[in-house]
Amino acid sequence: PTLVFAHAAFRDLLGAPAGIALGAPLADCLRSQNTSALAALLNQAFRTGVVLRDARLGLGDVNRPAMSCSIWPDVNADGETEYLLVELRRTSDNELAYSLQREVAERLLVSALREQHAAEMAESSRKTSEFLSAESRRLAESLDEQVTLAAMAQIALPHPGAWSIVDMLDDRGRMHRLAAVHPDPVVQGVLDAIHGRWHPANTDKFGLPALTRGAAQPLIADAADLTFCDAPHDGKVLDALRAPHAGSLLTMPLLIRDKLVGAITFVSGSDARHYTPEDMELARELASRSSIVLERARLYGEAVALRIKAEAATVAKSSFLDMMSHELRTPLNAIGGYVDLLDLELHGPITEKQHVDLGRIRSSQRYLTALVHDLLNLAHVRGGRLAYDIRDIGAFDVLVEGVAMVEPLIAARGVTYSTVACEPPIVARGDREKVLQILINLLSNAIKFTPDRGKIVVDCQEESGMVRIRVGDTGIGIPADKLESIFEPFVQVKVGTLGSGVGVGLGLAISRALARDMHGDVTVESTIGQGARFTLTLPRATGEAMKTEVVAPRST
């Protein structure tokens, strides 16, 4: 053992020379008769790393007073003893008291050290939490994938001189080096100069290449300078890679749904620093958070691409329907006109049977014209190409107007109609024409699917800031598993034969789309054999002065 420090009392006790040299062998510095016994105790402590308390040295006569020796080894993380703290004192008749005193002092010291360690751990945990929170905020600042990748390239462990390298896999499974970011501007300039030339090599012992070869995770490598230069690169790249003063390497995978998409290699800024378990856990957490943010950015990008594609398809479909509607309307109108001319016998008399046939032709022509109109209307609604004149409208007034328009159908079917609890003061917010269109669709459906001598009931109520107009019937009802699908285009529910073959299933789809564009909805409740009740929900007027709000078509 060599001497690191000894105060005056220690030197006097063992008779050490006044000019004792630090670093000299301890045995050469001591003149006491107890030197050999002390050296044996020191060697034992170095070898075992076990604390020794109150070991007796010497016989305790007048010429050689006995001494008590206590030794505390300082053991490193590898279990090796690096230093010894040695206490020597002359023995006395009160050794028991000394022993108890030392035991109390040691316990107090251990308690203080534990408190200090707990405080240091708490402070370290706080700093780590703050660091991770700051990095998470920085990574999540944008949903754009390229901005997210640029933020990921700035990741490094919070140690002086630490930097990082980010490798990624592209859609074809090819590796590319996204970035190498160093805190020193001079070194960063050197790394920027080789960007695009320093590619991941299949033989690299770090980063994505090593992980794709099945290397252990996390991957740790020392002597980073040598590791960088181990792969085949041109001379300028090899010269540049000697500039960063790199120490150890720590590579963590970037995983999205358990699939390897990249790797972050954390580089220490000093040859003397080795990564601790705490460093590895922090690096793992940074890589995990980076993966989550990257996945979110990619999902957002995919959603945007799908939305753009869907909008383009909607525009194309609407354009096609516009063109087809105009192309079909002209011949259909011409057919209707010629049917009217023939029916008026302007070109000569026709038989009664021919009048009947012309009536059937006219019915088919009107059906096709209405179908073309509904298709065009649905395309405009779903494409956001309708403008809405939102204003306060009286629920009673618009309902009376709608019923008046379907009264011939009610009379023809012989059904009973009644209005319950729909007082004039109930005022909703909406586009009057479109609300009327919805009511006519709901009333027409009720008439269509209600048998002769059935009943249709309409009521209005205000509930929770909304106006609800309900159209109920005693018709055939709707199966429970079809209560939502009937609002899809071209869906018709066949229960029995009543109403079958009438319409193509666009009315409810158009009605719900119109209602939702006005911040309302159309819903249904039904039981087979007991009829159905459709509810149109609209925002209630606030009671302020009448005001008009024009909602322009949505841009596409």
Q: Does the pTM exceed 0.85?
A: no
CATH (residue range 388-551): 3.30.565.10
Dist CA 230 CA 263 (whole Å):
19
Residues 6+ apart with CB under 8 A from 48: 73
* The CATH number fitting domain 8-91, selected from 3.30.450.20, 3.90.1150.10, 3.30.565.10, 3.40.1480.10: 3.30.450.20
Number of neighbours of residue 197 by Cβ within 10 angstroms: 12
Q: Got the DSSP string for 452-509?
A: TT-EEEEEEEEETTEEEEEEEE-SS---GGGTTGGGSTT----SSSTTTTSS-S-HHH
Predicted confidence (pLDDT) per residue in 82-139, tens digit: 888 888 888 877 777 777 887 888 788 878 878 888 888 888 888 888 888 888 888 8
Segment 311-340, tens digit of pLDDT: 888 778 777 877 877 788 888 889 989 898
pLDDT score for 500? 46
CB atoms within 10 A of CB 520: 23
| Rounded Cα–Cα distance for residues 482 and 235 (Å) | 72
Question: Cα 214–274–73 angle (5° rounding)?
Answer: 130
pLDDT at 118: 85
Residues of the chain with pLDDT under 70: 1-2, 14-35, 59-64, 77, 215-217, 222-235, 242-245, 270-273, 420-424, 493-504, 543-556
The DSSP call for residue 198 is S
Dihedral sign from CA coordinates of 50, 54, 59, 61 = positive
Q: Please, what sign has the CA dihedral across residues 153, 158, 161, 162?
A: negative
How far, in Å, CA of 68 to CA of 83, rounded?
20
For tokens 């753009």, what's the residue? Answer: 308
Alpha helix locations (H) across 344-394?
352-382
Instruction: Say which residues have a Cβ less than 8 Å from residue 189's Cβ, sequence separation at least 6.
Output: none
Nearest to 108 by CA among 357, 100, 307, 139: 100
Question: Checking phi first, is residue 86 left (phi over 0); if not, alpha (psi -120 to 50) or beta?
Answer: beta
Taking a C-beta distance cutoff of 8 angstroms, is the pair 240, 194 a contact? yes
Q: What is the pLDDT of residue 158?
A: 85
User: Long-range contacts for 295-301 (Cβ within 8 Å, ≥24 apart)?
Assistant: 295/256, 295/257, 296/140, 296/143, 297/142, 297/143, 297/144, 297/145, 297/147, 297/148, 298/145, 298/256, 300/143, 300/145, 301/143, 301/144, 301/145
Environment class of 23 (CB within 10 Å of its CB; exposed 0-12, middle 13-18, buried 19+): exposed
Q: Determine the 3-state secondary structure of 534 from DSSP.
A: strand
Which CATH code is given to the segment(s) 145-303?
A: 3.30.450.40
Complete edge-to-edge strand list for the sheet that includes strand 81-90? 52-57, 67-75, 81-90
Q: Are 540 and 462 in contact (CB under 8 A)?
A: yes
